[in-house]
Structure 1
């Protein structure tokens, strides 16, 4: 599996339903949203793209869309180890709406997702085989139940007799795909279902954001990203 995501959404109802009926995003409304979510940043427009292409955009680039019923933002800076520590202004922007964060990185088998309802955190999970469970807040969602029940174990490699058992009861990226479908209505790997959203049909506006006041949209650097950079330079 090679999936990577850095995704945040503000929704008035079901995200999947809003994405299914999505048309071209309003550039003016999207620019306004970006200014609200990234205070103190210089905003420069770049080429537009789609949700299917930019769910894990290049570093320093943000893709977003303000659509009827949902605002969606793709940015690596949302890939934080503890989703509950998402900056307050991003949570406050969800007043009256559902806020959903989804982040995963295939190189280190890391997954994190979180859901706030009208500003109140109801669920947050972050885990990887190397770090274990970093955060597990709130009651698991129904789609998680089979994974915690041991119905999706990671089978050992038969060619490696000395291999240690997988340290988690399931593979984080497998649950990550299930969470993406349950919360957003689509997957990035595997076979799409007949009712899944096609993320390539969801247009996004592109932005290059330059920090000007020292503020960041996330309070902490992501260990998965740091680990990948360290590997690339070793």
Structure 2
């Protein structure tokens, strides 16, 4: 059975305070995390957005964010619905004093939540309304109104008196102190695919632009070329200056390119006249 699982690895005393500051996620952190999780995966960035304001991860995708004291990982799992059987490689992928897992499948009504402290499972409840897959540990205080039937209409029989998906949302609020709904602070993540798909143009384009910018000459039309004014011995040749200026102009607009092309021809003409005078 497939479910979307969100793991929170927490070492911070107050994870809510960290999330409320809305820190940006680091794309490099996610790459390193996934490379360590499975070195054979082809890792492709596919987006950057708030976790709580976007569609959940799909198969072959990981949403990752590493903040000081808090790491968030969301993915799709298709193995056991019992969170106590979560793959140890994933469960131990980030060293943390507290680990929380929240799993949902809205189509089937499945919901599960679990808490490990110091590597020891303290509580896990994984169920659909008509079937309980796992119930480990003592219920937490936030569960009481759900078990009392105060949060959902009774449907009789052996069915649970609550919707497991709704209890998962309450578990996140109670354990993390974080409002993970769209009304809460942005939880910025970087999304990656590990199934070999190419990067979408909207993601890959800005990266290429940044890389191209880092390779450009440090020349700007408004700079006045201060870098060269005090170093006449190493100043570039006028024709080289003009060539580079035209190149910059072409990137900023064809009208500027024509005007600076004329300036280049004027510089070259001055050089020729200077040669004749000598």
| Higher share in strand | 1
In 1, distance between residues paired with 2:78 and 2:16? 20
1:176 aligns with 2:161: no
Instruction: Tell me: CA distance 1:96–1:107, structure 2 relative to 1, closer, same or farther (3 Å).
Output: closer
Where relative contact order (Cα < 8 A, 6+ residues apart) is larger, the structure is: 1
Instruction: Tell me: CA distance 1:18–1:93, structure 2 relative to 1, closer, same or farther (3 Å).
Output: same
**Residues 77-129 of structure 1 deviation map (CA, whole Å, 9 limit, x = unaligned):** 27850100111122333434211110112221110111111211111110102
Please state whether the residue corresponding to 2:169 is helix, strand or coil: helix
Give the match for residue 62 of structure 1: 62
Alpha carbons 1:57, 1:75 under 8 Å: kept = yes
In 2, distance between residues paired with 1:100 and 1:29? 20
Alpha carbons 1:6, 1:55 under 8 Å: kept = no
Give the match for residue 119 of structure 1: 119
- In terms of Rg, which structure is larger? 2
Give the match for residue 159 of structure 2: 167
- Superposed structure 1 runs of 4+ greater than 4 Å apart: none
In 2, distance between residues paired with 1:94 and 1:145? 31
Alpha carbons 1:54, 1:74 under 8 Å: kept = no
In 1, distance between residues paired with 2:94 and 2:121? 11
Please state whether the residue corresponding to 2:89 is helix, strand or coil: helix
Q: TM-score, normalised by structure 1?
A: 0.72
Give the match for residue 188 of structure 1: 181
Give the match for residue 230 of structure 1: none
In 1, distance between residues paired with 2:15 and 2:106? 24
Instruction: Tell me: CA distance 1:187–1:65, structure 2 relative to 1, closer, same or farther (3 Å).
Output: closer
Alpha carbons 1:8, 1:78 under 8 Å: kept = no
1:1-234 alignment to 2 at 5 Å?
A: 5-13=4-12, 14-54=14-54, 56-77=56-77, 80-130=80-130, 132-155=131-154, 165=157, 167-184=159-176, 185-188=178-181, 192=183, 197-198=184-185, 201-210=186-195
Stretches of structure 2 lacking an aligned partner (at least 5 in a row):
197-278
In 1, distance between residues paired with 2:160 and 2:85? 24
In 1, distance between residues paired with 2:5 and 2:34? 16
Instruction: Tell me: CA distance 1:155–1:135, structure 2 relative to 1, closer, same or farther (3 Å).
Output: closer
Give the match for residue 223 of structure 1: none
Q: TM-score, normalised by structure 2?
A: 0.61
Alpha carbons 2:104, 2:165 under 8 Å: kept = yes
| Higher share in helix | 2
Alpha carbons 1:154, 1:166 under 8 Å: kept = no
Please state whether the residue corresponding to 1:177 is helix, strand or coil: helix
Please state whether the residue corresponding to 1:125 is helix, strand or coil: strand
In 2, distance between residues paired with 1:25 and 1:65? 5
In 2, distance between residues paired with 1:72 and 1:79? 20
RMSD after superposition: 2.5
